[in-house]
Copies of this chain bind each other. A is one copy, B any other.
Amino acid sequence: MQDAVQGSTPSPYAYPLLIKQLLHTPFVQAPDQEIVYRGQLRMTYATLRERIARLANGLHQLGVRHGSTVAVMDWDSHRYLESYFAVPMMGAVLQTVNVRLSEAEIAYTINHAGAEVLFVHTDFLPVVESIKDQLETVRTFVWIDEPGSEACAHTIAFTTEYEAMLEASATSYDFPDFDENTRATTFYTTGTTGLPKGVYFSHRQLVLHTITLMAALSSPVSGQRFHRGDVYMPLTPMFHVHAWGMPYIATVLGVKQVYPGRYVPDRLVQLIREEGVTFSHCVSTILHMLLSCDNAKHADFSKWKVIIGGGALPHGLARAALDRGIDIFTGYGMSETCPVLSLAQLPPHIEPLDLEEEVRLRCKTGFPVPLVDVRIVNENMEDIAHDGRAYGEIVVRSPWLTQGYLNNPDASAQLWTGGYLHTQDIANIDATGNIQITDRIKDVIKSGGEWISSLEIESLISLHPDVSEVAVIGIKDEKWGERPVALVVLKAGAVVTEDEVKAHVMAFSKTGRISKYAVPQIVKFVDALEKTSVGKMNKKWLREQFA
């Protein structure tokens, strides 16, 4: 089973960038470090090493070979971490199934990826039961029998159960060398239009993303250092862009890792406290939920560093987090980019910043991480001025971008127009190279010949003390083309009028921060805002509802 080295370097001393190479240091240096699942199961890195080998042996027994695809439906767990390593290290491809998609979409993605083996956590038995006859490529089902979860009645023919498979397998596996450009992972983007599209990353890409992001996180903002003394817990699901690649970094660093299972805000806060979590990452809506839950009221968050990504970090949320002692800042990227492209940073020489300036800097899209070639361009691919005002689309090159969408040449060609990956994010860049996204291309509001940034207006409204959440969308207007409408969720018990919200925004237009066109024409109070399967505002849905 030892594949030949096919890589680029013809020398017998070639060192391919394979995921297994990330493991040279942590297993030697941190064999006794802990990995915790839901506060209930604890194991060491030494055990992780064994279980990775057991998983590979188990999968080999099931017929998994170089190029096979193994799909996983699980919550965030130590098992997922094991799959992150064992499956690609065998030369197989790991498909991380987005369990928040519809049943039809889940079936579509598993078929499209050609998965041969499917891991199914007990909680997803109903979904798999209902789609199992549509699955065209899966020939082996492996049950993940979660202690405490009750299995529903089903007719899925499981070949084995995850723990039983590991129990029966040998504790060492000779992971082979092969071409570093071998596909390691695939997962599907959750666009709001059309079918999910598969993106995919190679061993080389994941290794380079891991090491370069480690380097980038060492910049001189206390909160941006992810280091050997941290305790890590992801709060973006492991099925989504490898939880931003952070579990790979956490493992290389040899830190204590905490996997929370299904996200239940009160339980997450409890884990942060009980396990001493110091480093996490999430979308802003998850942080908002978490800070609003009962357990959060008396929790101490003062040692917690959080990167917010997957969308803008509203100034109001940033300020609320800073008030709770959270070291919060923005990371930017997308599914197609592995994902991280940039990080917000404070100036290297820490001078006393006023709070407003600090909030502004922490919420910025930030500075590209090393090796990332970011350009902000107009429609002719010409660079815009670095004046903090001109805007254009962010296009990028880096060693870790999906080379296209799986089996979708049209969408791939569109993604990669002109030799750069097009993010569809509109941004400006200032003279210091600090980037600020102002909108998604499709969310930008075009009013009276001006482009209004929905994100900026949301951020300003979020600063109102009674506002819990807000989305700003454009609705058609005969005279202006489009006009901004704000959909606002108020904090429990708060009473605010539409005019008060408008006056709050208008105040910023008087200081010149925004134009008066940007003041929402309508402010509508709603009970909740529709989110996508990964917790982002579903603006397409909102636009349709409020058209």
> Contact residues of A with B, CB < 8 Å?
7-9, 11-13, 15, 17, 21-22, 24-25, 28-30, 179-181, 207-208, 211-212, 214-215, 217-220, 225, 227-229, 252, 345, 348-349, 367-374, 386, 397-399, 401, 403-404, 416, 419, 421, 432-433
Given A21-B373, A373-B24, A433-B28, is A13 in contact with B416 using a C-beta cutoff of 8 Å? yes
- Measured between C-beta atoms, what is the minimum distance from A371 to chain B in Å? 5
- Measured between C-beta atoms, what is the minimum distance from A230 to chain B in Å? 8
- Please name all residues of chain B whose beta carbon is closer than 8 Å to the beta carbon of A24 when the two chains form the complex: 368, 370-374
- Measured between C-beta atoms, what is the minimum distance from A95 to chain B in Å? 21
Q: What CA separation (Å) do A372 and B207 show in the bound complex?
A: 13
Q: Is the CB of A432 within 8 A of B29?
A: yes
Given A218-B218, A218-B225, A229-B220, is A371 in contact with B433 using a C-beta cutoff of 8 Å? no
- Measured between C-beta atoms, what is the minimum distance from A80 to chain B in Å? 22
Q: What CA separation (Å) do A282 and B309 show in the bound complex?
A: 41
- Please name all residues of chain B whose beta carbon is closer than 8 Å to the beta carbon of A21 when the two chains form the complex: 371, 373, 399
Number of copies: 2
- Measured between C-beta atoms, what is the minimum distance from A302 to chain B in Å? 17
- Chain B residue at minimum C-beta to C-beta distance from A369: B25
Q: Is the CB of B252 within 8 A of A370?
A: yes
- Measured between C-beta atoms, what is the minimum distance from A176 to chain B in Å? 14
- Please name all residues of chain B whose beta carbon is closer than 8 Å to the beta carbon of A229 when the two chains form the complex: 220, 348-349
Q: Is the CB of B367 within 8 A of A29?
A: yes
- Measured between C-beta atoms, what is the minimum distance from A378 to chain B in Å? 18
- Measured between C-beta atoms, what is the minimum distance from A99 to chain B in Å? 30
- Chain B residue at minimum C-beta to C-beta distance from A255: B348
- Please name all residues of chain B whose beta carbon is closer than 8 Å to the beta carbon of A404 when the two chains form the complex: 13
Q: Which of B9, B214, B218, B252 makes the CB contact (< 8 A) with A227?
A: B218
Q: Is the CB of B228 within 8 A of A220?
A: yes
- Chain B residue at minimum C-beta to C-beta distance from A402: B13
Q: What CA separation (Å) do A348 and B207 show in the bound complex?
A: 24
- Please name all residues of chain B whose beta carbon is closer than 8 Å to the beta carbon of A217 when the two chains form the complex: 218
